[in-house]
Amino acid sequence: MKATFLLLACVVLLGLSSGGQADELKKHFYKKLCPQAEDMVQDLVWASVKNNSALPAKLLRLFFHDCFVRGCDASVLLDSTANISAEKDAIPNRSLAGFEVIDQVKAALEKACPGRVSCADIVALAARDSVSFQFQKPLWEVKTGRRDGNVSLASEALADIPSPGANFTRLVQQFASKNLDVEDLVVLSGAHTIGVGHNPSLNATHAA
Q: Provide the residue type at 101 as one letter.
A: V
Closer residue to ligand HEM (CB): 13 or 196: 196
Is 198 annotated in the active site? no
Choose among ligand NAG, ligand HEM, none what residue 191 binds, the Cβ cut-off being 5 to 8 Å by kind: ligand HEM
Query: 69 a known binding residue?
Result: yes
Q: Cα–Cα distance between 204 and 149 in angstroms, integer?
A: 37
Instruction: Report, in Å, the least distance between residue 31 CB and ligand HEM.
Output: 27
Q: Cα–Cα distance between 12 and 7 in angstroms, integer?
A: 11
Contact predicate 89/154, CB 8 Å: yes
The H or E element spanning position 132 is helix 119-135
Answer yes or no whether residue 19 interacts with ligand NAG by CB under 6 A.
yes
Burial 64-103 (b: 16+ CB within 10 A, else e): bbbbbbbbbbbbbbbebeeebebbbebebbeebbbbebbb
Choose among ligand HEM, ligand NAG, none what residue 29 binds, the Cβ cut-off being 5 to 8 Å by kind: none
Q: Which of 28, 65, 198, 206 is catalytic?
A: 65
**Contact with ligand NAG (CB under 6 A) among 21, 34, 43, 52:** 52
Contacts by 132-139, CB closer than 8 A, 24 or more apart: 133/45, 133/46, 133/49, 133/50, 133/56, 134/49, 134/53, 134/56, 134/194
Answer yes or no whether residue 108 interacts with ligand NAG by CB under 6 A.
no
What residues have CB less than 8 Å from 193, skipping those under 6 apart? none
**Contact with ligand NAG (CB under 6 A) among 13, 82, 196, 208:** 82
Stretch that binds ligand NAG, among 36-44, 121-129, 134-142, 167-175 (CB under 6 A): 167-175
Choose among ligand HEM, ligand NAG, none what residue 188 binds, the Cβ cut-off being 5 to 8 Å by kind: ligand HEM
Q: Which residues bind ligand HEM (CB under 6 A)?
A: 57-58, 60-61, 64, 94-95, 162, 164, 166, 171, 188-189, 191-192, 194-198
> Residues comprising the binding site?
66, 69, 71, 73, 75, 87, 162, 192-193
